[in-house]
Structure 1
Amino acid sequence: MIRNFEDMQKLGQTNVDSAMKMLGEWNKNWQAIAAEMSDYTKRSFEESTATMEKLMSSKSVEQAVEIQTSYAKRAYDDYMQQMSKIGGLYASMAKEAYKPVEKILQNGG
């Protein structure tokens, strides 16, 4: 229970501090996610370009199919690895966002 004005101020300041910390963590996590997606996009584009160059210089249909099959496997594996990494970043962001709420609940509201 809040008995006086100082307790109310202290509670308000604690809530503001928690909110600012949470926003800082969200910002940091969103930046990490954006950087990961940017790196993935760059890698994917470079891989696609290199594969297209190989396809253009292939000597036979069999070689072209082999190049395309190899590219499809690498692209799929890279995509799945990237999505797993991004999923981990989202999970970390959710955990960080819940910490202030958990603290309030543990302290009895």
Structure 2
Amino acid sequence: MIQDFDGIQKASQESIDLMMKSYGSIGQGFQAIATEAADYSRKNFEAGSAALERVLSATSVEKAVEAQGEYVKAAYESYLGQVSKVGAMMTEMTRETYKPFEGLFGKFPK
């Protein structure tokens, strides 16, 4: 009986260790995503400010519309790139989160 209790206690400690590693991966992943979001927001704000300056300093309506169109195109392309990048970061975070549990599934008897 004592031997079984020791085995259960050891398995419980291993499970807790795996969960802590997994939670650490989640924390690191969300921190990286938050940093990326902050960088994107800053760059997007700077690009929007520069575009507004170009529109306001345009010498004609055609130049203003052209500047605005260039900004919209660049903002859209930047957004699509950012969505792709964050998606890849989420995928990697998910992989890292489940990595500690990969060896656990081989321990179960068949």
TM-score normalised to structure 2 length: 0.90
Which letter does structure 2 place at the counterpart of 1:90? M
CA distance in 2, matches of 1:100, 1:50: 46
Q: What is residue 107 of structure 1 aligned with on the other side?
A: 107
Partner SS state of residue 108, structure 1: coil
Q: CA deviation at 1:98?
A: 2.1
Q: CA deviation at 1:30?
A: 0.3
Equivalent residues in 2 for 1:82-101 (5 A)? 82-101=82-101
Q: Extract unaligned runs of 5+ from structure 2.
A: none
After superposition, give the CA deviation of every residue in 1:13-58 in whole Å (9 maximum; x if it has no partner).
1001000000111000000000000000000011101111111110
- Segments of 4+ moved more than 6 angstroms: none
CA distance in 2, matches of 1:5, 1:17: 18
Equivalent residues in 2 for 1:51-90 (5 A)? 51-90=51-90
CA distance in 2, matches of 1:16, 1:72: 49
Q: Extract unaligned runs of 5+ from structure 1.
A: none
CA distance in 2, matches of 1:108, 1:64: 67
Q: What is residue 36 of structure 1 aligned with on the other side?
A: 36
Q: CA deviation at 1:103?
A: 2.5
Q: CA deviation at 1:95?
A: 1.2
Q: Say what the alpha-carbon RMSD is for the aligned residues.
A: 1.3
Which letter does structure 1 place at the counterpart of 2:32? A
State percent identity of aligned pairs. 39
Partner SS state of residue 4, structure 1: helix
CA distance in 2, matches of 1:38, 1:16: 33
- Count of aligned positions: 107
